[in-house]
Structure 1
Amino acid sequence: MRHTLPLAPQFYVTAPQPCPYLDGRLERKLFTALQGESAEKLNDSLSKQGFRRSQNVLYRPSCTDCAACMSARISVADFAPSRSQKRTLRRNAHLDRRATSPWATDEQYDLFRSYLESRHAEGGMADMDVFEFAAMIEETPIRSRVVEYTDREADDDLTAVCLTDVLDDGLSMVYSFYKPELPRQSLGTYMILDHIEIAREAGLPYVYLGYWVPGSPKMGYKAKFAGLEVYRGGRWTRMRNPQDYDADHHPLSTDPIAEQVANISLPDLSPRGR
């Protein structure tokens, strides 16, 4: 008997667990599977509505306590580097970029482990083994690339890596990691700056950065990029003073799950829509 996937995505909610960004709060996520022939179209559509991809799942925060997490993206046309960011570009001029198909390597995993142990030893990915790492890189039902940065002055030593999705309106930086022993090079900032340039060269208007969380020191760096937009209240708006978003910590700022799902705009996933 032949079985087919349902045309309309099914949405689910995770059980609450400690928030990795704000102390004393619980996080909950709304998610749906990303699979089948329409995976790319669904990913493009939901990314514009604040969702992020993790392997074959699309998710968006749906916490009961607050609505602080907001998807963030940079408008390429409105971006201009600051003096500090120009210095970062100069400090990393010796790095070469190489974009490949999503295939995991031992060299990538060694760099990933070094990064986690130095920067996120207590995080949820701290125990990820080589097989789970390979799944994170390779299990993608859409158009993805691994962007590697190597040091031409050190025998092409692998210095930084970013798993990047190519959307119909931009680049989505799914996950990045780099040599933690080079803090002065600001490699995380450099990869964002370079992805802005990649998007500009490709004629893509946006670079998606994941979530910005007001009040979280981990996320503060995203607010330093000119042209930053956040998805709030069902639409993208230009970032203002970060202090203006404190009201989103209020427990009444989150809509009920049924209302959230009803307000999601889905693309035409029928055979004719493809």
Structure 2
Amino acid sequence: MRLVLLAAVAFAALVAHQRPDWVEQVQGGARLVAARLGDVAPFAADRRSTAARAPEREPDRTQALAAIGRAADAQMDAQAAEDPTARDRVTALLRAAAATMAGSEAMGEFRAMTEARARVADLRERAAAARIAGGDATTAEAQLTRAGAELARLTDAFVGRLAALGVPISRDAAENLAVSANGDDVVALLAAYANVERLEGELRASVAGAADNEALLRRTYAVHATLLAVLETVQAEVVSRIDNLYLPGSPRWTGRRGTSAPTRRAASARSATPGCARRSTPTCVRRT
């Protein structure tokens, strides 16, 4: 994947030098780069995960192309700019684009479902405490019943949203995903794949009748390469978070990296990738 992306970026850099607007503004190249990358600062400061930043709706075509376009332009400009921070700016824009492409209604339902689960757990504890104390648990039990019904509704809604992304799963699998440590990361990853696939289809349709439009084809190729970079960004983050935050022996658990990092990374990749081989893993779901 990295070799493909490097080749794509190199081609995109060549295209950048061939663009008339670049040639006309070559004297002010540094200022042009600064202007194009000037909106990176807000994203660079946000170190939350892609899942935490993902909107609760799918991006429309305009939003997606705007986010991808900024990252594509930054990649091309970084090849020409003698700026040591250019790659950091590209990374920030790719992370911003990743968050945009990871948005979905499924994420909104997932967040609502996890909040409802916490509410049910709290009410269950209150009802149990009231019974143990010999008090009246009627009110808490009534609230628990209503909260349980709402959780069931939200779980069904989440299953439906995932099916709309091309990931049909059972209700039990949805509940397992809700209680897993990286459930939101998996939902973000699935949404990113689905949204990129949809946008790629729209791009193919838009250039189907424009085979002689060289400028459009070059721009479409640059967007395609950037979409691959976005998917790599999301995937790498999910694997890294599993490897460094969730697995026993990770830095979060021990304060240092254990000797089994390659094994942990291999397991992370399997559990984080849609359609992975380990079918027994709760967060391993297959896209269709």
TM-score by length of 2: 0.22
> Which structure shows the bigger proportion of residues in helix conformation?
2
Q: Which has the higher contact order (CA 8 A, sep 6+)?
A: 1
* Bigger Rg, structure 1 or 2: 2
Higher strand share: 1
TM-score if structure 1 supplies the norm length?
0.23
